[in-house]
Structures are given as C-alpha cells and as structure tokens.
Amino acid sequence: MPPSKKAAKAVTGKPTKAKPAETALPADAPAAPPAPPPGRRILLVDDDAEIVESMRAVLESKGYEILVGRDGNQGLLLAERENPDLVILDMMMPKRSGFLVLEKLRRSHPVPVRVIMITANEGSRHKAYAEMLGVDDYIRKPFSMDRLLESVRRLLPPGT
C-alpha cells in the first residue's frame, strides 16, 4: 500500500516550520509536589483493598510516599526493589503469608527494615512468633488510624 501524501512529505525531509516550545509555566500554576524526605517511604502489603486505600489516604495526607503490594510475593519484590523505610504487613495473604515475608526481609536486609504487622488474628501465639521474627509493632484489626499513625511516627521519627 503506498504511503499517504503526509507520510511522503515527512519522509522526504521537506522543511517545516516548528512551533516555539512553551517552557514557562503561568505564575499561578501549582508546582509539582516535592519528593518526600528520606525516611518517609512506606510499603503497604495487604490483599484487602479497602484497608489499603484507608491507610494510603491517611499516610499520604501526612506526607509519606506510599507503595502497595497486593500479596506477599508482590510485597517482597517491592521491598527488595524499592527499599522502603517501613513496611506495614498483613499477616494473612495469598501466595505468601506475612510471616514468610517477614522472615525473608530479616534474612535479606543487612540493615533491618522497620515492620508493622497487622492482623485480624486474636491468638497470642502469632504475636509471639512475629516478635520472635523481629517485628517492630503488632496491631490487631480493626484498628484506629490514630493507632497506626502513632506507630509509624514512633518508628519513623521526623528527620530520619
């Protein structure tokens, strides 16, 4: 099929008038949000979309950069690739449990990443196991966002 006339002109290299580039922004244009300071990147790993979105909204409103993994494998890959300052990790997830993710994180990071484990499980055995693996905080669902923020502030104090 022969090329169109426009395509033929573009291929022939016939000079065309270039439009001037607009580089200046209007004075009232909002600036791009600044990148979060170091110590402000949080990875949320949970398969419950409502919980993730609630945590994301609250944490982003406080200036944290949020990454999301929807299952244990995805969370582990993101933790390895993105090196977050804090991981908020659900215990019960598809593909790889929070315990298995925590074990792997503790073995693979020379400087341990801070981890908050969240769970709907009431058993004290699970909490004891998470603590043995080195979890920094353990929060039972349902929880208030104030409780979560308190833990995040304690583990990622300003200026870290």
Q: What average pLDDT does the segment 85-100 reach?
A: 93
DSSP 105: H
Q: 123: helix, coil or strand?
A: coil
Structure confidence by residue, pLDDT tens digits, 100-151: 999 999 888 777 899 999 999 888 999 999 999 999 999 999 999 999 999 9
Q: What average pLDDT does the segment 38-61 reach?
A: 93
Pairing outcome for strands 86-90 and 41-45: parallel
Cα 41 to its chain centre, rounded Å, is: 7
> Across all residues in the chain, what is the average pLDDT?
81
Q: What distance in Å separates the CA atoms of residue 118 and residue 88, rounded to the nearest whole number?
A: 7
| Helix H or strand E segment including 127 | helix 124-132
- pLDDT of residue 39 exceeding 50, the answer is yes
Residue type, 83: N
| Interior angle at CA 148, CA 145 and CA 153, nearest 5 | 120
Q: What distance in Å separates the CA atoms of residue 55 and residue 66, rounded to the nearest whole number?
A: 9
pTM for this entry: 0.74
Q: What average pLDDT does the segment 54-74 reach?
A: 96
Counting every residue, how long is the chain?
Answer: 160
For each of the domains in the chain, give its residue range(s) and CATH number, in order of start: 37-155 (3.40.50.2300)
